[in-house]
A and B are shown apart, each in its own frame.
Chain A
Amino acid sequence: MATLVKTEEETMLADAARGFLDDAAPVTHLRGLRDAGETHDPALWKEMAQMGWAGILVPEEQGGSDMGHAAAGVLAHEMGKTLATSPFLSSAVIAATALRQVSDARGDALQRIASGEAIYALAVDEGNKFAPDATAMTAERVGNGFRLTGDKTFVVDGALADRLLVLARTEEALTLFDIPADRDGITRSAQNMIDARDSARIRFDGVEATGDDVVGQVDHAMDVLKPALEAGQAALAAEMSGLAAGAFGMTVEYLKERKQFGIAIGNFQALQHRAAHLWCETEVTASAILHAGRKLDEDPANATLAVSLAKARATSTAQLAVMEGVQMHGGIGMTDAFDMGFYMKRARVSAEWLGDYGYHAGQVARLRGF
Chain B
Amino acid sequence: MLDIQDPEQFRSALRAWLEENCPEEMRDGAADETTICWGGKNWKFSSEAQKIWLERAAAEGLTVPTWPREYGGAGLDRAREKVFQEEMARINARTPLQSFGIWMLGPALLHFGTHEQKLEYLPPIARGEIRWCQGYSEPGAGSDLAGLQTKCEDMGDRWLVNGQKVWTSYADKADWIFALVRTDKESKHKGISFLLIDMTSDGVSTRPIKLISGASPFCETFFDNVKVPKHHVVGEVNRGWDVAKYLLTHEREMISGSGMFAGVSRSLGAVLADDSDGLTEPTLRAKAMEAEVDALAVGLTLERYKDQAEAGGGVGDASAMLKYMGTELNKRRHELLMAAGGSDALEWDGTHAGRAGDWLRTKANSIEGGTSEVMLSIVSRRVLGLPG
Contacts and interface: CB of A to CB of B under 8 A. Distances in A.
A364 B376 contact: no
Nearest to A361: B289
A269 B373 CA distance: 9
B380 A273 contact: yes
A287 to B, nearest CB: 4
B246 to A, nearest CB: 21
Interface stretch (B8-16, B219-227, B291-299, B345-353): B291-299
A312 B269 contact: no
A162 B304 CA distance: 41
Contacts of B304: 4-5, 286-287, 290-291
Interface string A3-15: 1110000000000
Given A5-B313, A370-B273, A283 B386 contact: no
Interface in B275-304: 279, 285, 288-290, 292-294, 296-298, 300-301, 303-304
A369 B267 contact: yes
Contacts of B373: 273
Nearest to A272: B380
A78 B325 CA distance: 25
A59 interface: no
B311 to A, nearest CB: 5
Contacts of A275: 380, 384, 386
A277 B379 CA distance: 8
Contacts of A273: 373, 376-377, 380
Interface residues of B, number: 43
A269 B301 contact: no
A118 interface: no
A272 B383 CA distance: 11
A264 interface: yes
A370 B267 contact: yes
A275 B380 CA distance: 7
A364 B295 CA distance: 11
B156 interface: no
Interface of A, helix, strand, loop or mixed by DSSP? helix
A5 B308 CA distance: 6
Nearest to B272: A370
Interface string B175-191: 00000000000000000
Nearest to A282: B321
A3 B380 contact: no
A5 B388 contact: no
A102 interface: no
Contacts of B384: 252, 272, 275-276, 279
Nearest to B302: A287
A364 B388 contact: no
Which of B285, B290, B300, B303 lies at the interface centre, i.e. has the most chain A CB atoms within 10 A of its CB?
B300
B318 A283 contact: yes
B379 A280 contact: yes
B242 interface: no
Interface residues of A, number: 39
Given A280-B324, A364-B289, A370-B279, A4 B386 contact: no
B380 A309 contact: no
Interface string B67-87: 000000000001000000000
Given A273-B380, A309-B296, A370-B267, A284 B325 contact: yes
A6 to B, nearest CB: 10
A313 interface: yes
A173 interface: no
Interface string A279-301: 11101111110110000000000
Contacts of B308: 4-5
A365 B293 CA distance: 8
A145 interface: no
B387 A264 contact: yes
Interface string B361-388: 0000000000001011101110111111
Interface in A1-33: 3-5
A255 interface: yes
B172 interface: no
Contact of B297 (A264, A279, A313, A370): A313
A285 B297 contact: yes
Which of A291, A305, A309, A365 lies at the interface centre, i.e. has the most chain B CB atoms within 10 A of its CB?
A365
A272 B296 CA distance: 26
Nearest to B312: A5
Given A4-B304, A280-B324, A291-B300, A266 B387 contact: yes
Given A252-B385, A256-B386, A266-B388, 11 more contacts: A3-B311, A277-B376, A279-B321, A283-B321, A285-B297, A286-B301, A287-B300, A364-B293, A370-B269, A370-B279, A370-B292
9 nearest CB pairs, A to B: A370-B269, A272-B380, A276-B379, A4-B304, A3-B307, A287-B300, A368-B267, A287-B301, A276-B376
5 contacts: A3-B78, A287-B301, A313-B293, A369-B269, A370-B288
